[in-house]
Every structure is written in C-alpha cells, then in structure tokens.
Amino acid sequence: MAHALMFYLFAALAIAASLAVILHRNIFKSATFLAGMLFCLAALFVLLDAEFIAVVQVLIYIGAITILIVFAIMLTTKINDEHKEQFNSQKFLAPILALGLLGLILTIVVKIQWTTAEISPVPSDILGLIGTALLSDFIFPFDVVSILLLVALIGATYIAKQEDRKPLVTEVDETGEHGDGKVKHALHAEEVEH
C-alpha cells in the first residue's frame, strides 16, 4: 500500500513539474522545474528497484544536462525577461496534436489485455552485471558512443575558438548611436560597450 502511495505521489509531482516546465513564463524557472521532474522520475526508478538507473538519472540528467541548460540560458538570454511571447504560430496546432496523441495512448492502454507476471528478484550484483555487459557484449556500441562524444566535444571546442577569433564589428555614427549617420566608424564590440 505504501509503495502504491509513493508511486502516485511521485507520478503526480512529475506531472505537475512537467506542466510547470511548459507553462511557466520564466525560462530559468522552467529549467528548475525540469530538474524537479527528472528527480521524480529517478524516484520512480528507485520504486522499481532500479537504483542504478536512478543514480544515472540524477548524475547525468540532473547533474549534467540540466546544469548545461541553465548555463546556456544564463549566457544567452535575459532570464528575468517575462514579457517575451510565450507561444508562436504553432499555438493552435500543438494542442490539437497533443490531445490526439493523448487519445491514441489512452486507447492503446484501455484496449490492451494486460497480463500480470511474477516479479523476478533483482540480482544482488546488478552493477557488476551491467559493467560486464558493457565491456563484453556491448563493447563496440560503447566505444562508438565514446568516440562520437569525443568528436562532438572537439568540434564544439573548435567552433567556440573560431567564434573567439572573429572580430565583432558594428557600425556606429559620430554621436555613438547605431544608425545611418554620414560618418561611420568600425569598432570592435568591446569599444562600443565602453
């Protein structure tokens, strides 16, 4: 009974946090709610006796991906600007597609004849089994993903270095205002700010 209550509690919190992610106007707070939703998902994995998946969920999705999203938000946008348009031209089509997808999922859930099976006990050495599987049966995909991540990291570093080398030039007239003045000077972005 307590197990079911915990499931319903974390499922409700995950749904509430997911709704807050898409409905909140402040993008920084939306990222915070995303971290909360991912934590609720990790708690659901713990309830399923999948502690390793829960730890990976917390370390990778909350500890790395969400922090990366927060840094990207802080470096690229004004996080306190809540006056931006919340919805775009898809605001009418998106709810229709979402409701259609929800109807399809509910139809599948209702029509499937669900069978109950005996829950097999989780092996005590599950981490050892996962490590053995990754480094024996799945060694090739594991190495391919590692190389792909390394190439992506090198590519991102190269692109960032190329962006640093380009001089950011803007045109400013004699009064220091951006415009179509007769006399214009090409200044670096650092000079414009000062």
Could you please report the per-residue DSSP string of 116-178?
--PPPPPPTTHHHHHHHHHTTTTHHHHHHHHHHHHHHHHHHHHHHHHHHHS--EEEEETTSSS
Is there a domain that residue 174 lies in? no
Instruction: Report yes or no on whether pTM surpasses 0.75.
Output: no
178, part of any domain: no
Flag whether 32 is in a domain: yes
pLDDT tens per residue across span 125-169: 788 888 888 888 899 998 999 899 889 888 888 887 776 666 555
Structural domain range at position 6: 1-81
Residue 50 and residue 47: Cα distance in Å, rounded? 7
Do residues 47 and 10 touch, judged by C-beta distance below 8 A? yes
**For residue 174, what pLDDT band results from cuts at 50, 70 and 90?**
low
Residue 68 sits in a domain whose CATH number is 1.20.120.1200
Give yes or no for residue 175 having a pLDDT over 60: no
Going by C-beta distance under 8 Å and a sequence separation of 6 or more, which residues neighbour residue 40?
A: 10, 11, 13, 14, 17
Is position 42 within any domain?
A: yes
Helix (H) / strand (E) containing 186: strand 184-188
Q: pLDDT tier at 123 (50, 70, 90 boundaries)? A: confident
Span 62-74, pLDDT tens digits:
888 888 888 877 7
Q: How far apart are CA 53 and CA 38, in angstroms?
A: 12
118 conformational bin, left if phi > 0, alpha if psi -120 to 50, beta if neither = beta
Q: Quick one: DSSP state of residue 187?
A: E
pLDDT at 186 over 50: no
The reply to whether 113 falls in a domain is no
pLDDT of amino acid 148: 93
Write the CB contacts of 36 (distance below 8 Å, at least 6 apart in sequence).
13, 17
- Domain tally for the chain? 1
Of the ranges 43-52, 75-84, 90-99, which one carries the lowest mean pLDDT score?
A: 75-84
